[in-house]
Structure 1
Amino acid sequence: MNSSKLSPMDSAFIQLETPRTPMHVAALMVFEAPEEGVASFVKKLMEDGRKETRITSPWNKVLVSGSRWQLAPSLVTSYDPDLEYHLRHLSLPAPGGEKELGQLVAQLHSQPMDLRKLLWECVVIDGLEGDRFAIYVKFHHSIVDGVSGASLLMNGLSDHKDDLTTPPFWVHAAPEKPLSLKRLKLPSLGETMGTAKNVLKMFGENDSLTTLRSAPRSPLNGRIGPQRRFATQAFPLERLKAVARHEGVTLNDVVACLVGGSLRRYLKDITALPKESLTAAIPMSLREAGDMSSGNAVGMIYSIVGTNIADPVVRLHEIHASTSEAKKHIQELSPEMRVPYSLASMAPAILKMLSGMGGTGRPMFNIVVSNVPGGRQEKYLRGARLLHLYPANIVFQGMAVSFTCYSHAGTLNVGIIACRDSVPHMQRLATGLTDALVELEEGLGITGGEECP
C-alpha cells in the first residue's frame, strides 16, 4: 500500500477535527436548468454519476487512519469507492426559495464528515424555484484550500453550452504540483533569523501593523456549538471594482470595508460593538502561477475591518493602510520562508484549539475574510449554466463567523458561515453587506449599479 504523508498545514485540519468544529469546506453551485427542465436533467445526472467507474486524485484518496488522533496523517488510494454514499439527491420543500436552500445547506454543513471514507461529498438539490437546481460539494480542508477546491470544481464544468457529455467532477484529476515547488532550496541562516523576527512582531503591539494582540473581545469569539447558519449575497463585480479604482485601493480592501460596515451595524444592534476595530485573518495564496495542485498553500495576513469607524470612506482608507502594511510584512520574506512563517504565526491559535482552550480569553483575531479568484467565462454543466458559486468555510472555537468570496463571470459571490448559537439573525450580515456598499458609494459620490438576481 503506497501512502503519502500530508504536509504539516494539511495535517492540522485533521488534528483539529471535532464534533463541534468539523474541518470541511464546501461550495454551493446554483445552476439554470437547460431546456429539458430540472426533473429530467437531475435524474439523468444522478444515473450517470452513479454508473461512473472512473475516479482520480484527490477524489480517490482516503486516510490510512480515519481518526484525528495522529501526528502524521497519511493518504492512500481507494480502489472501491462507495459512490452511493458520496453522491446524494435531495429536494427542497416548497416554495424552494433562498431561505429554504440556505437552511438545507446549513444542515449539510453542520454534519461532520466520516474520516474513514473518501474526503468529499456531493449533494444534488432540486425543488429550487425559478427553474434552477443546486449542487453542494463538501471537501475536507486537509485536501484542498480555496484555490485548489475551486479548480477541482471548475475542471468538472465546460466552457461550452452544447457540451452535453461532461463527466462527473471526480473524473477530473487535480494537476501535479510544479517541479519547481518540489525542489525548493533550503533557507539561509539570515532568512531564518529574519523570519523569526517577523513572527515575533506578530505577538507584540504595533501602531501600524495589525498583530495577534490587536483583536478586541466580542460576542463572535467565544465557544461555539456544532450547528451552522449559512447566508449568501452577490454583487456585480464591476460595481466593486469601480469603487476600488475611484479610491486607488484593492478589491479585497473594498470587500473588507463592506464586511466591516455590516458587522458594525450588526454589533450595534445587539449593543455589543467594541471600541477597537475587529480584526480579520485574510488568507493569502502562496502558490506559484499556474499551481492548481491539491492540498493547502496559504499564508495569513491580518487587518482591521474598521468596525469602530462610522464614515465608510475613512474606513476604506484605514483598511487599505492596514492591509498594505500586512502585505509588506510578509513580502519581506523569501518565498521559501512564507509557509514556515504562516505556520509559526498560526501555531498559537492551533495549539489553543488542540488544548481545548479555544474560545476562552482574548481572541487573536475576530473573523476570517477570504477572497478566492475565479474566472470571467461562463461555465456549464451539460448545458446547465452556472449562475453562482457560494463558498462555505470553517468556523472554530473562538471564531464564530467567516466570510468567503468567489468571483465568477462578472459576479462576486459571498458565502457567510457561522455558528448557529453565537450568531442569531445572521441574514442581517448578508443584507448588511449591500447596505454598506450603498453607504460607501454615497460617501464617494458614485452611482451604484443594479443588484445581482
Structure 2
Amino acid sequence: MSTAIPPLDLAWLLMETPGGTTHVGAMLLFQKPPARRGLVAQVVADYRSRQPLPPFTYVPEILGTGMPHFREAPTWDPHYHVQHLSLPAGSSYDDLLRLVADLHEPMLDRNRPLWRCWIIDGVPGGRFAIYTKTHHSIIDGVSGLKRLYDGLSLSPGDTIPAPAFALPGPAPTSSAAPPALRRLADAVHGVLTQVGAVNQISWGAARKALSAALGTHVEGSLPFVAGRAPTNAPLRQARGFATLSLPLEEMHQIAHHHGATLNDVAAAVIDHGLHAYLRDTDQAYAHELIAMCPVSLRGDGDTTVGTKVSAMFVRLGHPEATMEDRLRQVAHSVATAKKELGALSPDAAMTYAVALVALAGAGASTHLDRVGHPACNLVISNVPGSNDVRYLNGATLIGIFPVSALAAAIGLNVTLSSYRGHMDFGFVANSAAISDVHALAEHTRQAYAQLKVADRV
C-alpha cells in the first residue's frame, strides 16, 4: 500500500541535508516515584512490544518510478527504533542535554520508518527522560505533541499506554466516487485552488520585494528580507540544545499589562536574549532580527498525517531597545503580520508555506542562501501544550521540551510549549553559529527577569 506525498511534506524531504535536517522531536522529563526499581526497563520492554501504525510505518520513495509516495515498511526493528540508554553515575542535567543534542544531529535513515525513540535513565534527581524524533514529512509540531500527550496517562497508576508511534491515526474518509473519477476530480480541484492561491499572494510578495530592495521600511510578513545575522552561518551537523522554563500565569499577566499576547512576550525575551548573547560574544548585530513564526492550519480535533502549517515572518525589536519597548515593537509587528496572513484563504496560506519552503530549500542546495537574503534569522514557534498532569508507569511528567529542526541557513530554532503552569522552551542551535546555547538560554531568562522587574510582577 502506498500514499502520495503532499507538496509541503515532499519539500521537507527534498530540502534536507546532513547539516540541515528536517526532523522534529521532544525531550520528555519524568520524576520517578520512590522505590520503583525496574520502572524504566518496563517502559522499554512495553514500547518494543508495540506494533507501529501509520504514519510511523512509512518509508519515502522519491526517485523511483511514479510520483513520490510513502510505502509501508513490512517490518520494523524494535531495538533500533526504541533504544535504552543510561547516563553514567555522577552525570548532570547538562550532560543529558548534550546527549540529546548528539542524538538530534544525524538524519533519519530513509530506508527505515522515519522515527526513533531513546529512553534515557540515570538523570540526576531520580528522573529519566524520553527523547524522540520524527521526520517533519509525516508529522508537524501540533499533531506530534498531541500524540506524545495521548501516549501518557492521566492517572498515576502503573499503566503504560500505547506510545505515540503505536496510536491509531484518523479513520480514512469514505467516498462513493470511483477511484479514477475521484483522482481526476481531486487533480482538477487542486490545480484551480493552487492557481487562485498564487494569484492571491503574488502581488503582495512582489510589492514587498521591490520595497525592500529600495531600502523602504516594510511591514507585515517579511520572508527573504532579513539581513545576514550570525545565526545565518552555514549549517553544520553539530547541534546545541538548551532548555528554559518560565511561569505561565506570570507571562500572561505581563502580556495583559502591555496589551500583548503570550507569544509576543516569548518572542520579545528571546529577541532580547539573542542580542545580548551576540554582544557578549563579540558578534553584535546592528539590525532588527526577523523571525519565522509557524502558524498551524489544523482545526480542533484534526490529527491527520503530514504537515498543516503556514508561517509569518515577523520583524523583531531594535537591537538597543529596552525590554518594554521591545515588547511593544514585537507586538505591533506580530499583529500586522497576523492580519496579513489572516486575510489569506487556507489554500493560499498552505501554498505560501510550500513556496517558501521550496525557495529556502533551493537556496540551501545551491548555496545561493550564502550570498542572498536568508529566509529569516531564527524560528520561534509555540506548540499547544496541556494543563493536565501526565504519567507514565507511575512516573510524573515534569516537563516537555521541544527539540526542533534547523534547515536552510537558519541556525536557531526556539520552540516552546506550556505544561502544568509553566512554559517550556527548547533552544536548538547550529553550533557553528552559537557555540554556547546554554548561555543564550540564560540571557533569555535574564531578559524575562528585566521585563518582570519593569512590570513589578
2:29–2:400 contact (8 Å) kept in structure 1: yes
Structure 1 residues 43 and 75: alpha-carbon distance in aligned structure 2, compared to 1, 3 A threshold: same
Where 1:268 maps in the other structure, the secondary structure is helix
Structure 1 residues 178 and 314: alpha-carbon distance in aligned structure 2, compared to 1, 3 A threshold: farther
1:161–1:383 contact (8 Å) kept in structure 2: yes
Does residue 206 of structure 2 align to residue 200 of structure 1?
yes
CA shift for structure 1 position 353: 1.6
| Structure 2: distance between partners of 1:50 and 1:321 | 49
Unaligned segments of structure 2, at least 5 residues? 176-184
CA shift for structure 1 position 327: 0.8
* Higher alpha-carbon deviation: 411-420 or 304-313: 304-313
| Structure 2: distance between partners of 1:307 and 1:330 | 23
2:11–2:354 contact (8 Å) kept in structure 1: no
| Structure 2: distance between partners of 1:387 and 1:178 | 37
* Higher alpha-carbon deviation: 218-227 or 198-207: 198-207
Q: Which residue is equivalent to 1:410?
A: 421
1:177–1:293 contact (8 Å) kept in structure 2: no
Q: Which residue is equivalent to 1:451?
A: none
Task: Give 1:46's match in structure 2, choosing from 38, 44, 47.
Answer: 44
Q: Which residue is equivalent to 1:55?
A: 52
How high is the sequence identity, in percent, across the aligned residues? 32
Q: Which residue is equivalent to 2:276?
A: 265
* Higher alpha-carbon deviation: 252-261 or 340-349: 340-349
Where 1:358 maps in the other structure, the secondary structure is helix
2:222–2:312 contact (8 Å) kept in structure 1: no
Q: Which residue is equivalent to 1:32?
A: 31
| Matched length | 440
| Structure 1: distance between partners of 2:242 and 2:174 | 40
Does residue 211 of structure 2 align to residue 211 of structure 1?
no
Matches within 5 A, 1:7-406: 7-37=6-36, 39-52=37-50, 54-64=51-61, 72-162=67-157, 164-176=159-171, 186-187=192-193, 192-204=198-210, 205=212, 206-406=217-417
| Structure 1: distance between partners of 2:173 and 2:208 | 31
| Structure 2: distance between partners of 1:76 and 1:96 | 41
CA shift for structure 1 position 244: 0.8
The letter of the residue matching 1:59 is F
Structure 1 residues 189 and 278: alpha-carbon distance in aligned structure 2, compared to 1, 3 A threshold: closer
1:94-147 CA-partner distances (Å, limit 9, x unpaired): 323211001100110112211100111010001111110000011011111100
Structure 1 residues 177 and 198: alpha-carbon distance in aligned structure 2, compared to 1, 3 A threshold: farther
* Higher alpha-carbon deviation: 215-224 or 113-122: 215-224
CA shift for structure 1 position 247: 1.1
CA shift for structure 1 position 49: 2.2
CA shift for structure 1 position 308: 1.3
1:237–1:407 contact (8 Å) kept in structure 2: yes
2:100–2:131 contact (8 Å) kept in structure 1: yes
| Structure 1: distance between partners of 2:66 and 2:330 | 38
2:225–2:373 contact (8 Å) kept in structure 1: no
RMSD: 2.4
TM-score, with normalisation over the residues of structure 2? 0.90
Q: Which residue is equivalent to 2:181?
A: none
Structure 1 residues 150 and 225: alpha-carbon distance in aligned structure 2, compared to 1, 3 A threshold: same
The letter of the residue matching 1:15 is L
| Structure 1: distance between partners of 2:172 and 2:420 | 27
| Structure 1: distance between partners of 2:61 and 2:72 | 9
1:263–1:307 contact (8 Å) kept in structure 2: no
TM-score, with normalisation over the residues of structure 1? 0.91
1:146–1:372 contact (8 Å) kept in structure 2: yes
| Structure 2: distance between partners of 1:332 and 1:387 | 39
1:260–1:305 contact (8 Å) kept in structure 2: yes
